[in-house]
């Protein structure tokens, strides 16, 4: 059976996973009476809740005597490390573009990588039935994008299809034909995507995805570069520098067939398979016959731009809600994560109780934190900081991102003003239809930390912001931080409605009544710039005198809930987010007010 290997790449929410659903349905993967799950490829709990793809996943379908291996890739730039590795496994790519939004930053990022490794793309204009669709302009924008990314003549001569992934059809024209299906897309894949290029010699394969299986142990997915492999065959693992990592035997070979994994007795060059039986080999290593001495070259991965500290929890409530609290178990979990996620970098601090975790963006780190807390971990994390580099002349370089903000015209002024305050340079302002404008900026990553929630407030929730790492540039100077102080609990206990009610004129609360608090924990936002210690445990004085209004219930304003992402971006350098399986709390690093004053005094003296 002939093979074709393709990736589906697009910006977040442009319909990649939904299109894969329809391809699986129409190629006969499901039985007629089988209950079909929506977005079947998004298997993780967080993926299902957020409606985004975080981990790349492979599947395959049979079509007209061919096997088509399909890889569904993430749409967020924060998970770009996944996409970069995937592209080495495939020979073609379907670039999915929204008929209304057009090519967005993530499209640009992934397409740039795909063109660089020589893939010939198929462009599919999705969601053609949107009332605000503008497919002709979008096709021109895609062509301009390809040209700007130095595509060669062959890549610029890309085929175009129009359709709706959710509707389950694609066609050469924007109008839906009578007998509509995804057949034109699948036929085009067979015609346009070349057969897998196969190397000479014995078995070789680059590890692309790493996962852990309860029964089979470590499993490595990749495309076989040359030769063939059978169970119980001896293999060795080579690092990128050619050193032997380990030798061992393959216990099992699994192939992706629809949503199932099938055991194979033999796999050949060009196929995408998962192998089990090795203990140390990881992503970007070469798995090969023992006679091979040179490793295959893996795609380079862009460096991390944001770092934060993961610290052992030392609050008064430490260990009361989570069962994984020690530095050893946190360390093992972080290093295990870094094995399979090459975009993450973990360093142990000198005190052994904290770890520096660097990644592509706040979202990637927030997803890691959320995953760990669901597994029972309890720890504290610091505010995200950017990773600075040193230039050739010793100058300080910082990461700058390309920011695209789609917003209603009436709110564009405040967006431009806020981005200027954050040292953002405006590159473009153009109408994007329906009284909306598209603003494009180059802004330092430092200035964007915490801006998402502020943008939502400024634009009444109508803005859509997309970010993409652009380059390292000379340091742009100081950027102002949070303008408000915080309200801090001065004692340990449970918050009381009466105390919270009397503090409401000081600023909005972030906790409600009956919440466990401790000294140094942040319970609200102060109206002024300074921090203020308050008593939230103070109940109403009881007397034996009746008074009018005495028995009235206290009506509290609903507290401002702090989601994990908002908390991470909102805190200052002297604050932490305490994360447990049940609760997210905000606190000062130094819980004792005397320690905080002493530290503030030493800073002002210094």
129 is in an annotated binding site: yes
Rounded Cα distance between 82 and 57, Å, is: 10
14 is in an annotated binding site: yes
Cβ atoms of 284 and 364 closer than 8 Å: no
**Angle (CA) 141 179 166, round 5°:** 50
Helix (H) or strand (E) segment spanning residue 448: helix 445-448
Q: Which residue has the tokens 């001065």?
A: 490
13 is in an annotated binding site: yes
15 is in an annotated binding site: yes
445 is in an annotated binding site: no
**Angle (CA) 69 73 75, round 5°:** 155
State whether residue 454 is helix, strand or coil: helix
**Angle (CA) 60 63 65, round 5°:** 110
- Give every CB contact of residue 376 below 8 A, 6+ residues apart in sequence: 322, 323, 324, 581
Strand pairing report for 532-534 and 486-489: parallel
127 is in an annotated binding site: yes
CA 502 to chain centre: 41
DSSP for 81-124, please give it. Answer: HHHHHHTTT-SEEEEEEETTT-S-HHHHHHHHHHHHTT-EEEEE
Burial class (CB in 10 A: 0-12, 13-18, 19+), 423: buried
Question: Whose CA is closest to 268, among 312, 304, 301, 224?
Answer: 224
Cβ atoms of 288 and 204 closer than 8 Å: yes
Cα–Cα distance list, 606 to 372, 560, 599, 600, 603 (Å): 39, 36, 10, 10, 5
Rounded Cα distance between 19 and 21, Å, is: 5
Q: Which residues pair with 284 in a beta bridge?
A: none
Rounded Cα distance between 22 and 271, Å, is: 23
Cβ atoms of 149 and 108 closer than 8 Å: yes
Where is the binding site, in residues? 13-18, 126-129
Q: Binding site for GTP: which residues? A: 13-18, 126-129
């Amino acid at each position: 059976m002939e093979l074709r290997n393709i990736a589906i790449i697009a910006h977040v929410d442009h319909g990649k996973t939904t299109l894969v659903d329809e391809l699986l349905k129409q190629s006969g993967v499901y039985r007629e009476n089988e209950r079909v799950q929506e977005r079947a490829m998004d298997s993780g709990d967080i993926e299902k809740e957020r409606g985004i793809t975080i981990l790349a996943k492979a599947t395959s379908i049979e079509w007209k005597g061919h096997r088509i291996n399909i890889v569904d890739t993430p749409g967020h730039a924060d998970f770009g490390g996944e996409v970069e590795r995937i592209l080495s496994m495939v020979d073609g790519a379907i670039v999915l573009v929204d008929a209304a939004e057009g090519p967005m930053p993530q499209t640009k990022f992934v397409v740039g990588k795909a063109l660089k490794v020589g893939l010939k793309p198929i462009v599919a204009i999705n969601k053609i039935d949107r009332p605000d669709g503008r497919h002709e302009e979008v096709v021109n924008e895609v062509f301009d994008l390809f040209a700007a990314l130095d595509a060669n003549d062959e890549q610029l001569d890309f085929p175009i299809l129009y359709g709706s992934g959710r509707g389950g059809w694609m066609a050469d024209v924007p109008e839906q034909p009578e007998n509509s299906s995804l057949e034109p897309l699948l036929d085009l894949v067979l015609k346009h995507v070349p057969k897998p290029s196969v190397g000479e010699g014995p078995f070789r394969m680059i590890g692309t995805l790493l996962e852990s299986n309860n029964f089979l142990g470590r499993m490595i997915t990749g495309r076989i570069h040359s030769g063939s492999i059978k169970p119980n065959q001896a293999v060795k693992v080579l690092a990128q520098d050619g050193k032997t990592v380990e030798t061992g035997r393959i216990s099992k070979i699994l192939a992706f067939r629809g949503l199932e994994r099938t055991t194979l007795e033999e796999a050949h060059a060009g196929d995408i398979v998962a192998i089990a039986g090795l203990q140390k080999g990881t992503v970007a290593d070469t798995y090969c016959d023992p006679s091979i001495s040179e490793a295959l070259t893996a795609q380079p991965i862009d460096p991390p731009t944001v770092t934060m500290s993961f610290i052992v929890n030392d609050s008064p409530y430490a260990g009361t809600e989570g069962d994984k609290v020690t530095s050893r178990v946190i360390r093992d979990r972080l290093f295990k994560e870094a094995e399979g996620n090459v975009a993450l970098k973990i360093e142990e601090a000198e005190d052994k109780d904290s770890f520096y975790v660097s990644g592509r963006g706040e979202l990637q780190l927030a997803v890691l934190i959320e995953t760990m807390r669901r597994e029972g971990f309890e720890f504290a994390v610091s505010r995200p900081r950017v990773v600075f580099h040193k230039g050739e002349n010793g100058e300080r370089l910082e990461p700058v991102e390309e920011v695209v903000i789609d917003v209603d015209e009436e709110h564009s002024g405040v967006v431009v003003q806020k981005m200027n305050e954050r040292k953002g340079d405006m590159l473009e302002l153009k109408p994007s239809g329906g009284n909306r404008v598209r603003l494009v900026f180059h802004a330092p990553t430092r200035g964007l930390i915490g801006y998402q929630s502020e943008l939502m407030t400024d634009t009444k929730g109508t803005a859509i912001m997309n970010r993409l790492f652009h380059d390292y540039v000379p340091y742009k100077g100081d950027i102002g931080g949070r303008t408000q102080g915080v309200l801090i609990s001065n004692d340990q206990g449970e918050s009381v409605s009466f105390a919270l009610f009397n503090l409401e004129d000081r600023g909005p609360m972030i906790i409600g009544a009956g919440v466990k608090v401790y000294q140094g924990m942040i319970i609200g936002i102060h109206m002024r710039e300074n921090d203020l210690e308050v008593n939230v445990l103070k109940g109403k004085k009881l007397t034996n005198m009746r008074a009018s209004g005495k028995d009235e219930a206290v009506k509290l304003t609903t507290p401002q809930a702090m989601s994990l992402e908002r908390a991470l971006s909102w805190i200052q350098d002297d604050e932490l987010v305490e994360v447990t399986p049940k609760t997210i709390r905000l606190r000062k690093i130094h819980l004792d007010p005397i320690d905080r004053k002493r530290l503030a005094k030493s800073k002002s003296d210094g």
